[in-house]
Amino acid sequence: MSVYRINIVLFGIRTIGSALIREVIKNQQSLLDHHNIDLRFPIIANSNLAFFEKEDQKNNWEADVNQLTIPYTMSYIIDRAKEKGHENLIAIDATRGPEFAKSYISLIQNGFDIVSVNNIVNSLHHDYYTEVRRNLKKYNTEFLYESHISPGLAVVDTIKDLQASGDIVTKVRTVTSNSLSYIFSRFGNEAVPFSKILEDAEKLGYTHNDSREDLSGIDVARKLLIIARELDQKVELKDIKVQSLLTESISKSTSKVIYNSQKKILDRFFKIAKQNQKEKHVLRYIGEIDLEHNTFEVKLVSVPIDSNFGQLKAGEHLIELYTLNTGTTPIRIQGAAFGKQNTAKSILNDILKIAERKRTAVYS
């Protein structure tokens, strides 16, 4: 079988984008040897500049990107890719924020498959969500995003497999925040103030730059929304009831300086919440979908220390899927889903899935 070349057009080249390039370079030979797949990056772009590979350049991307980038528009990238005859084009969305979502439809209409790590795109308005899927069907292209919930854990694939088998998910419970998993695991086991553990989580890189994004619950809510939509629920972010862990005085509307100087305000609330629990219970911040009662919630709960949620180690994710077939014993997907390398591996897995399906389609 001849070598199957995949041309990756990468958007976003800072933390995750560069980790992906390194992961591909690290695995390039073994992908060739074991899968006969040659992954190349002919076009790499950040928010306003793009690098276009010349035939004799390979793997020197850092120097090239620093020296040889030019301003671009999306239609220029699409035209250039066609003009160069690049086949099997996969666009990678390793951008941050909602801006790049505007380009999805035109990429799909021009035959690009898409792998995304930017989960904001799947939590935009449902009309956009369905428009993307309508176009994917029409243009026979794929959109994979396993890293949107827990990089490295096959949450989306498991749901799709359950649906394909005819089973019906009735309830979902999740811990999908690296930072809040870390914080509550330690808070349950140690006699240390909440704010001290929060600061440790910040130093270790578990939180966003502004940890209020974690404490507000929006990140967990966004992931819950993505799961809900996988379960064919027509819901928006506003339909998810979110219990924020922030107090009014240090909410997003106050400055970061004030927030940083007043984190200790949180200690009293969490000390009381800890004390008010039944014996041998710990706090966890969970997302919950109950389709029987049509509820979508993100909240602080108290769970037995010997339960699956109570046993979670610092930083671990856990997704429980209750289905009609499995009854009261849920399917559990659990593990560490932290770090740029883990995320890069998850993107690479999605790329390889698309590559294998494309190749199978060509040879069948």
Ligand X SMILES: NC(=O)c1ccc[n+]([C@@H]2O[C@H](COP(=O)([O-])OP(=O)(O)OC[C@H]3O[C@@H](n4cnc5c(N)ncnc54)[C@H](OP(=O)(O)O)[C@@H]3O)[C@@H](O)[C@H]2O)c1
Q: Which residues bind ligand X (CB under 6 A)?
A: 11-17, 45-48, 94-97, 99-100, 117-118, 147, 151, 340, 343
We find the least distance from the C-beta atom of residue 91 to ligand X, in angstroms, to be 10
State which residue, 93 or 266, has the beta carbon closest to ligand X: 93
Select from 169, 148, 170 the least CA-distant residue to 160. Answer: 169
We find the least distance from the C-beta atom of residue 119 to ligand X, in angstroms, to be 6
State which residue, 118 or 323, has the beta carbon closest to ligand X: 118
State which residue, 193 or 339, has the beta carbon closest to ligand X: 339
Check if the beta carbon of residue 285 is closer than 8 Å to that of residue 208.
no
We find the least distance from the C-beta atom of residue 340 to ligand X, in angstroms, to be 5
Report how far residue 195's alpha carbon sits from residue 201's, in angstroms, rounded to the nearest whole number: 10
Instruction: Report helix, strand or coil for 276.
Output: coil
Check if the beta carbon of residue 158 is closer than 8 Å to that of residue 331.
yes
**Token pair 């949450």 is at which residue?**
155
Residues 6+ apart with CB under 8 A from 305: 188, 280, 281, 282, 311
We find the least distance from the C-beta atom of residue 294 to ligand X, in angstroms, to be 29
Counting every residue, how long is the chain?
364
What element of type H or E holds 163?
A: helix 155-164
Report how far residue 64's alpha carbon sits from residue 60's, in angstroms, rounded to the nearest whole number: 6
Cβ neighbours around 141 below 10 Å, total? 21
We find the least distance from the C-beta atom of residue 95 to ligand X, in angstroms, to be 4
Specify the amino acid at residue 174: T
We find the least distance from the C-beta atom of residue 214 to ligand X, in angstroms, to be 12
State which residue, 118 or 349, has the beta carbon closest to ligand X: 118
We find the least distance from the C-beta atom of residue 10 to ligand X, in angstroms, to be 9
CA 225 from centre of chain? 12
State which residue, 42 or 188, has the beta carbon closest to ligand X: 42
State which residue, 47 or 130, has the beta carbon closest to ligand X: 47
Report how far residue 272's alpha carbon sits from residue 125's, in angstroms, rounded to the nearest whole number: 38
State which residue, 147 or 185, has the beta carbon closest to ligand X: 147
